[in-house]
Amino acid sequence: MFEQFDISLPSLELKAALQHKIDSKTKPVGALGELESIAFQLGAIQNSLTPDVSKPKMIVFAADHGVVDQGISLFPQEVTPQMVMNFLMGGAAVSVFCQQHGVPLRVVDVGVKSSIDDHPLLGQRKVAFGSKDFSQQAAMTTQELARTINAGVDEADLAIDAGCNLLMFGEMGIGNTCVSSCLMSAMTGLSASQCSGRGTGLDDAGVSHKARVIEASIQRAEEETGISAAKWGPQTLAEQLGGFEIIAMASAMLQAAHRQTAFVVDGFICTVAFLFAQKVEPNVRHYAVFAHQSNEKAHRLLLEQLKAEPILSLDLRLGEGSGAILAYPLIQSATVFLNQMASFESAGVSGQS
């Protein structure tokens, strides 16, 4: 199912030259901190001493989730198509931030529960009208999973074929924080309570209820498959507990890495999609730039497990790709300093003794 993703490591051919170029800028070695790491990473990915992120694209995948029937969200599913329309009409946070930074936005319907009219910014790739309630049965069929993977791959290819050199991902789907927490618990072995947070604003009782639903859902899937969650492969994990937008996003990340294109990981839900992608192919890690640490408590735990260093920590908990687009100017600055900042030699400045 996932055999198509063959990901090569970024080239190390220019490793010494990249590091020398970074260290030779008119600054103390390491003085630009994480920007230097990003510049090096992008140079290695693009195999270039002058990496370029001037053609970015934001892709927001949207879908609904049957587990919402268990009362794990404060908001009704009608909000998913309403917010998709808000994205398309330019009124959402990710929309205005993309407009601010001149980044094209595409919204992809992979499983919204209602039909959405055609729009120039909309990708129509609906797999089904929402996933099934995974507390009662598998979230998706094998055929639906295959279509979900193809949706993510095709969207990444569409952007890269058009010249995109940095992909950013976001998501929309009422209930997808619960789905992500469930996937995280199954993949990491952490308890449901450790992986559960407030999402769109649940109180303590709501968080506890969500954790119980997650525990019951994993137990149901283990009994159905006859295999403990710790031993599930990616296909079983996706079919039993996945969300269409989360698996499509993971597949787009894998395809971006396959095509040696850097991508930006947004908040908690996007990071869970990355965790799934890494389970499929560990080399995907080298192509990921982590945008921010969100306010969702499990996100910090997940970033620690991944040993990931996010660029920002702004207490965000919105999703949509909002953290990814806010991090974009800093990613851009990493290439600007590498490409345009003077070296000690070119500026006639004395270097370190």
Q: How far apart are CA 26 and CA 52, in angstroms?
A: 21
Helix (H) or strand (E) holding 81: helix 79-89
DSSP one-letter string for 130-153: S---TTTS-SS-HHHHHHHHHHHH
* Residue 301, both tokens: 């735990």
Q: How far apart are CA 299 and CA 267, in angstroms?
A: 7
Burial of 209 (0-12, 13-18, 19+ CB in 10 A): middle
- Give the residue from 254, 259, 258 showing the smallest Cα distance to 277: 254
CB half-sphere exposure, 309, CA atoms < 13 A: 8
Mark whether 78 is an active-site residue. Answer: no
Burial of 104 (0-12, 13-18, 19+ CB in 10 A): middle
Residues listed for the chain: 353
246 close to 152: Cβ distance less than 8 angstroms = no
45 φ, ψ (degrees, to nearest 5): -60, -45
Catalytic residue among 36, 144, 296, 320: 320
19 close to 43: Cβ distance less than 8 angstroms = no
Q: What is the DSSP letter of 25?
A: B
* Residue 225, both tokens: 């498959």
Provide the β-strand partners of residue 169.
Answer: 59
- Active-site residue set: 320
